[in-house]
Amino acid sequence: MSFRKMKDTIDYGDTVILHIGYDNMLPIMIAKGETMQTKFGAVKHSSLVGKQYGTKIQCSKGWVFVLQPTPELWTLSLPHRTQILYSTDISMIIFQLDLKPGSIVAEAGTGSGSLSHAILRTIQPSGQLLTFEFHGERCDKARQEFAEHGLSEFVTVTHRDVCGEGFQLDHLVDAVFLDLPKPWECIASAKNAIKREGGRICTFSPCIEQVQRSCEELSKNNFTDIVTVECLARNFNIQYAKLQNVLPSDVPLAANGDSVNCGTEEDESKQKSHKKVKKAPESFLNKAQDNQVKTAVHNYCFSSAIPTIAMQGHTGFLTFASLYYH
């Protein structure tokens, strides 16, 4: 039930997210007699029941947090059965498909259910997700997950290759999402699935050639407002930077970010608050900078938002289109 509504405390049957670190989250379903092993020690499920979501839990070798799942947390912690969609693209898809409570959506394929969970959050309780997956085992897993998450009544998982067999839906849905190797093969069938009053479609494709064929096919099928976009998240790290003034700075500095002459002690305390962000590397950095202090008393200090050097360069192209009254 923890996916349908925000809750205060943990009950048996809830799926919770054990937050061990920024890139280390484990989803667990709370069951009697079960125990979860984490790198900080074991956590007995029963001991979590009745606890408030967001609580810091002491384990034998450290602590973890227990969070109520959101589709965004789920996307970061779910078991991968396929390549998955991430929240930057997912957000755009939900928005561009005009989804809201009550929307009826067709999705192919289900994959690992990353997008499905976000769709379900938005369209429940009056909407329906009709999701199609050609891979039998994945179908079963998805169905099981939706059931565990209390979402079964809002979703129908169908085991079918829509590329060959089509959606077999007759003017029923508000929106169609296609994440398939050959989306263009399903566009005619998608058109037939969309309500007479019109609707929206989205295809996700990693390669531009797929986009080109999809756009052609969309156009042929009288879809309009065809738009292809790309969204890339660029994350920033906050770093406390200290640049040596190799010449005496007689220039008055502007309003921004600079305690010139910042001493070592003062910095140390400021940096402590940052140490959690980057553990080992920063301590090296501190040492290195401290050495420099010997030769230069003056430093220019500031908090800097630095884009992460390694970033996701591409996920896929999102093509959106409208089908008007038809």
Partner 1 sequence: MTDIQEGDHVVFKRDGLSRVYQMRRNREVYFERSKFKVDDLIGQPYGSTFEIDRGKLVKFEQEKVVQLKETISSLPGADNRNLLDAESNQKMSKDDIMKMKDEGITGEKIIEELIENSETFKGKTEFSQAKYLKKKKKKHILVFTVLRPTPRLVMEIFSKEPGKICNLRPDTLSQLLNYGNVMYGSNVAVVETCQGLVLASLLQRMGGEGKLIQLVPNTSNSVCRQVMDYFNFPKEHLDNVYMFPLDTFSTITDDTEETDGNSAANLNLETSSEKTVTAPTDAASTDGGDSSIDSKTLMTVGGVLVESSDKSDQSENAALLNIPGKAAPSTDVAEANDVTMKDNDALIENAAGGEVIGGKRQLPPNRDLQRQLKLQKQKEAGQIIRNKQLDSLILACKYNPLPILMTMLEFLPPSRPVVVYCQYLEPLVECYTQIKKKGIGLQLRLSETWFREYQVLPQRTHPLMNMSGTGGYLLTFMTVQPVIEKVQS
> Between 60 and 256, whose beta carbon lies closer to its own copies?
256
240 binds its own copies, rule: CB under 8 A: yes
> Between 247 and 254, whose beta carbon lies closer to its own copies?
254
259 binds, among its own copies, partner 1, none (CB under 5 to 8 A by kind): its own copies
Length of the chain: 326
CA distance linking residue 317 with residue 231, whole number of Å: 8
CB 240 within 8 A of CB 273: no
CB 103 within 8 A of CB 202: no
> Between 181 and 263, whose beta carbon lies closer to partner 1?
181
244 binds, among its own copies, partner 1, none (CB under 5 to 8 A by kind): partner 1
233 binds, among its own copies, partner 1, none (CB under 5 to 8 A by kind): partner 1
The region that residue 146 occupies, defined by phi over 0 for left and psi between -120 and 50 for alpha, beta otherwise, is alpha
**Bond from prior residue into 257 cis (ω within 30 degrees of 0):** no
Which of these segments, 26-34, 144-152, 164-172, 212-220, binds partner 1 (CB under 8 A)?
212-220
> Between 52 and 304, whose beta carbon lies closer to its own copies?
304
CB-based contacts of 66, cutoff 8 Å, min separation 6: 10, 16, 17, 18, 19, 48, 51, 53, 54, 55, 57
Residue keyed to tokens 């769709």: 119
304 binds partner 1, rule: CB under 8 A: yes
Binding site per annotation, positions for S-adenosyl-L-methionine: 112-115, 133, 161, 179
Annotate 62-115 with DSSP letters as a single string.
EEEEEE---HHHHHHHSPPSS----HHHHHHHHHHTT--TT-EEEEE--TTSHH
Q: Which residue from 213, 244, 259, 298 is in contact with its own copies, where contact means CB under 8 A?
A: 259
Joined tokens for residue 95: 């928005």
> Between 234 and 294, whose beta carbon lies closer to its own copies?
234
171 binds, among its own copies, partner 1, none (CB under 5 to 8 A by kind): none
CA distance linking residue 217 with residue 202, whole number of Å: 13
CA distance linking residue 32 with residue 63, whole number of Å: 22
Site residues (CB under 8 A) for its own copies, limited to 264-303 = 270, 301-303
Q: Which residue from 208, 247, 251, 309 is in contact with its own copies, where contact means CB under 8 A?
A: 208
> Between 65 and 300, whose beta carbon lies closer to its own copies?
300
CB-based contacts of 221, cutoff 8 Å, min separation 6: 187, 188, 191, 323
Q: Which residue from 12, 95, 153, 165 is in contact with partner 1, where contact means CB under 8 A?
A: 95
Q: Which residue from 33, 164, 265, 313 is in contact with partner 1, where contact means CB under 8 A?
A: 313
255 binds its own copies, rule: CB under 8 A: yes
26 binds partner 1, rule: CB under 8 A: no
CA distance linking residue 270 with residue 95, whole number of Å: 40
33 binds partner 1, rule: CB under 8 A: no
What binding mask, one character per residue, do residues 150-189 give for partner 1 by CB under 8 A, x or -? Answer: -------------------------------xx-------
* Interstrand relation of 24-29 and 155-159 (parallel, antiparallel or unpaired): unpaired
Closest distance between its own copies and the C-beta of residue 266, in Å?
9
How many residues belong to the site for its own copies (CB under 8 A)? 12
Q: Which residues bind its own copies (CB under 8 A)?
A: 208, 240, 254-257, 259, 262, 270, 301-303
